[in-house]
Amino acid sequence: MRCVGIYVFLLLIIVGDPSVGASLLQPQPFPGTVADLSFTQRVSLLTDGYEPWQAEYDASGRCISGCVYGGITIQDELQILENNTNVANANLTQYLNQIPHPQNQTNNTTQNNQNQLENLSGIIAQYTPRCRPNNPNTPANQEIPLGVPLVGTTHITSPYGARTHPVTGKPSVHRGIDFSAAVGTPVYSPAIGTVESVWTDNSCGNGLKISHSNGYETVYCHLDSVLAKQGDAVGAGCVVAKTGDSGITTGPHLHYAIKYNGEYINPTNWVNQN
Ligand SMILES: [Zn+2]
């Protein structure tokens, strides 16, 4: 109902209320791209607690549900996500350049980097919770989400991008990556963070969102259970949830998505690190 409400609200803004005056009865163009929406319209959709994790489109390619920006086409949506990803990639490059690579350094620099890492480890031990089990592939000082939030052989059942929705059969944009996982598989936070929200809805099922530094958030869907609660500090590589089959799915799996500065990005490049 909330989605329908927002959509009607948006239509009213775009088309205009016919009772207001004859001038507004002139046919208005349906928004072709996000550029046709006003700043206020975009913000009202994004700040209303509306957290679509998947958008769906009609046969002509216009978004009909789960839209971040109502009425736009799949191509528009993918372009927005690509733009977001490009901005985030600049941040990723900067972050990776800050990580010491001892093999490329002189002895002096190596020692300095070692000291920096030891100092950092001390700070982490002091301020972030110990966790067990932990993901051995995730460094304890990792501040941004890199790598896969699962341990062991991970099989991607549905990559990021445009797809036909496996349940509804409608064209859709998949804003995350699906990993196959038996119910009860541990999910690990890929970076130091704070649990932003834990919720349940029809499509995501049991959901979890963690905020990290540098403007990153990670989103997890279809969980069996969430082991942390809102406001909890979580360490990098610490177990935070168990995978499940809740929400709209064709079988047990983990839906994993990354947001940067409040916008979804293509997470592939981040998942492939480590
Ligand atoms: Zn998914």
Residue 146 corresponds to which tokens in the numbers above?
Answer: 């890199």
Please indicate, yes or no, whether residues 182 and 64 belong to a single structural domain of this protein.
Answer: no
C-alpha span between 149 and 165 (Å, rounded): 23
Structure confidence at residue 71 (pLDDT): 72
C-alpha span between 261 and 162 (Å, rounded): 22
C-alpha span between 117 and 240 (Å, rounded): 25
Per-residue pLDDT tens digits for 27-36: 334 444 444 4
Q: Whose structure tokens read 């709209």?
A: 248
pLDDT above 90 as % of the chain: 40
Please indicate, yes or no, whether residues 163 and 226 belong to a single structural domain of this protein.
Answer: yes
Number of domains composing the chain:
2
Query: Does a structural domain hold residue 90?
Result: no
Query: Does a structural domain hold residue 89?
Result: no
Q: How far is the CA of 54 from the centre of ligand 1 (A)?
A: 8
Structure confidence at residue 113 (pLDDT): 60
Coil, strand or helix: which one is 69? coil
Structure confidence at residue 197 (pLDDT): 93
Q: 180: closest CA among 215, 216, 222?
A: 222
Please indicate, yes or no, whether residues 65 and 185 belong to a single structural domain of this protein.
Answer: no
Q: How far is the CA of 158 from the centre of ligand 1 (A)?
A: 7
Per-residue pLDDT tens digits for 111-131: 666 666 555 555 555 545 567
Query: Does a structural domain hold residue 173?
Result: yes
How many other CB atoms sit within 10 Å of the CB of residue 127? 10
Residue 31 corresponds to which tokens in the numbers above?
Answer: 């928004």
Q: Mutual orientation of helices 39-46 and 2-15 as an angle, nearest 10°?
A: 170
Q: How far is the CA of 131 from the centre of ligand 1 (A)?
A: 27
> Which phi and psi angles does 93 have, rounded to 5°?
-60, -45
Per-residue pLDDT tens digits for 164-205: 777 767 777 888 999 999 999 999 999 999 999 999 988 889
* Residue 141 C-alpha from the chain's centroid: 21
Query: Does a structural domain hold residue 26?
Result: yes
Rg of the chain's alpha carbons, rounded to an integer? 21
Residue 146, pLDDT above cutoff 90? yes
Q: How far is the CA of 106 from the centre of ligand 1 (A)?
A: 45
| Residue that wins the pLDDT comparison between 170 and 244 | 244
Mean pLDDT of 100-110: 51
Query: Does a structural domain hold residue 116?
Result: no
Could you list the beta-strand ranges (E) of the chain: 54-57, 63-65, 155-158, 161-164, 171-174, 177-180, 186-188, 193-201, 205-211, 216-226, 233-234, 239-243, 253-260, 263-264
C-alpha span between 83 and 60 (Å, rounded): 23
Please indicate, yes or no, whether residues 198 and 267 belong to a single structural domain of this protein.
Answer: yes
Mean pLDDT of 136-143: 90
Structure confidence at residue 116 (pLDDT): 60
Per-residue pLDDT tens digits for 86-102: 999 999 999 888 876 44
Structure confidence at residue 92 (pLDDT): 93
Query: Does a structural domain hold residue 201?
Result: yes
Helix ranges (H only) for the chain are 2-15, 39-46, 74-98, 107-127, 268-271
Mean pLDDT of 50-62: 62
Q: How far is the CA of 7 from the centre of ligand 1 (A)?
A: 23
Structure confidence at residue 208 (pLDDT): 96
Among 63, 78, 93, where does a domain finish? Answer: 78
Structure confidence at residue 187 (pLDDT): 97
| Residue that wins the pLDDT comparison between 103 and 92 | 92
Per-residue confidence at 107, pLDDT binned at 50, 70, 90? Answer: low
Q: How far is the CA of 81 from the centre of ligand 1 (A)?
A: 16
C-alpha span between 80 and 23 (Å, rounded): 33
Please indicate, yes or no, whether residues 66 and 141 belong to a single structural domain of this protein.
Answer: no
Q: How far is the CA of 176 from the centre of ligand 1 (A)?
A: 5
Q: How far is the CA of 213 from the centre of ligand 1 (A)?
A: 24
Mean pLDDT of 242-266: 92
- Residue list, CB under 5 A from ion ligand 1: 176, 178, 255
Task: Give the range of the structural domain holding residue 55, as residue numbers without chain letter.
Answer: 2-78
Query: Does a structural domain hold residue 221?
Result: yes
Q: How far is the CA of 36 from the centre of ligand 1 (A)?
A: 29
Per-residue confidence at 105, pLDDT binned at 50, 70, 90? Answer: very low
Per-residue confidence at 26, pLDDT binned at 50, 70, 90? Answer: very low
Provide the CATH number for the domain around residue 224.
Answer: 2.70.70.10
Please indicate, yes or no, whether residues 158 and 230 belong to a single structural domain of this protein.
Answer: yes
Structure confidence at residue 133 (pLDDT): 76
Q: How far is the CA of 120 from the centre of ligand 1 (A)?
A: 35
Mean pLDDT of 146-163: 89
